[in-house]
Structure 1
């Protein structure tokens, strides 16, 4: 009995020891699993984040390389294509000379200055610039006068009507025969149209001009006693006579101021930006407001002479222009002095850049410029 009880105690103690060991192992295993899971969690997440960041950076780098590659390819293609297109050399800004002296022999070219710009120009500045231009032109063309040959107001009005759409030189070659055959308004009023047409044929539009000069001669004979009237409102009633012709007659046959707005005058005053108007009557009013009335007739001559000799419509001789520093359109024409000098047109009265000698018919007995016909 004692042996069996002792054996039972021994078995029980062994089971107890084994249970304790098993419990200790299980506890140790749980503790080990907890530590392992705790260690594994951050370690796993961190590499995942790094891997994601790495993938994003790789994508950006790939995109950057792709864009850079495309840009480089485009630049390379542009460089290859560039030699096929020749680029025009950059234009140098035109610089106006202080005063053109190319037209005068033996005078060295003057230093250059930037031309005056009219942008934002005040009314006062415009008036000063316009009047200075007229003063400069008066020095170049001191004897500027109408370039039509005439001996009395009747001849002047007829010659002015004939000057439309032709040159003054052509008119001066035609009128001597006309006035020799028809010296008075009464004679021309009674003329046979076909005979007048034959004389006027060289001036162009000879049929229309014949009708005008015969018509105005009849009007002078019937309405004004054969005399040319000295008032604007009477002159413009004559066939073929507009404001331009009327002011030529008033200013040069009667000494009454007027602005002659012909094609040269219109072109130059717009080129100088005295006005932006295009209608002749509005140009006359705009320019007339810039000058004293007493200057109007001479101003017209100065501008017209300059337009015929230097400031041409297609190829202005900018390099030989005496008012280049005052002209906002400087550079539209030839600026090289030597080349510009070849563009000058030498008409009656000499050439610009020198004191022009007037024709003898324009001088009085003392050798001085004669006053306009009918003045005084």
Structure 2
């Protein structure tokens, strides 16, 4: 297999201070929390988790360790500005004191909400979290350290348990932007693949495609770094091999473990290596058309691969050879095989192939294209014009 190396240049690398990974490892949460605080404010990602008894189980473990458990909220959608501001006010009304921390149990939405609230609880220069979001607010920076965050993901996709940003949306005005600071990175991430078993197949599919897109884009980003370059190919190998199995057989332990690990690696990679075109357009699809993020990534990834192969063909060929564990006669064949593997996986997951199938109208396309040029797009390895994005979207229509 052809080797691949990134020229060493100065870089910084951030991860959770501690990662605990493994089937059933949520049992170790009670051992970790006393290291960081004495009272936890809990953000949950789904009422299903409550009905299944997971919250009761974790509460028993936490309280047995002498930690005070204070439930804040449940969120079942991508967090909005009003969600962050409302939960922050709720937390501040209770009163924040030394030894407090946030515990997020759920998918990326719950973890993002917890990270944003943890930051806003200790920073009051602005009137709203919007004042701190990239390119839409007052450009305020966090002057005080956020409350510590512990993350227990229950989906395998976003990798938010290992990222240094919280993605927050707004309906009026419409946007999807990040609160970004190294200090919102969770201090501890407890990644228990067993918790993903009860996710519906559709969630398994779209979350998994989000992880795959993050692994690919962080590898080819113009901000790519040496450590993510080592991690992303292995995460992609796991995801391409096991996602369809996790989708078809939710109780398949090896598949669930592989996908949870791939998602974790994708979060570490994007936090340190950036993203690209697929995520840039996916964010705009979410804002303009309400398309779930993972589904948008799944639809856009093949187009992003084709668009970028002229600039990073060697890198994509390396990914193809490594992730598919095959040798190819040349780089073009390897890139073709990678694209075909992604498209076949989308078909196996029964995901929509065209924008018109998910409620996007042709009239939305110019607005989606115009909104695609945020932080993610700035990491794309080649410049893409608004006209080119419109053409890509029309081809996908």
What TM-score, normalized to structure 1? 0.29
> Which has the greater radius of gyration?
1
Point out which structure has higher relative CO (alpha carbons under 8 A, 6+ apart). Answer: 1
Structure having the higher strand fraction is 2
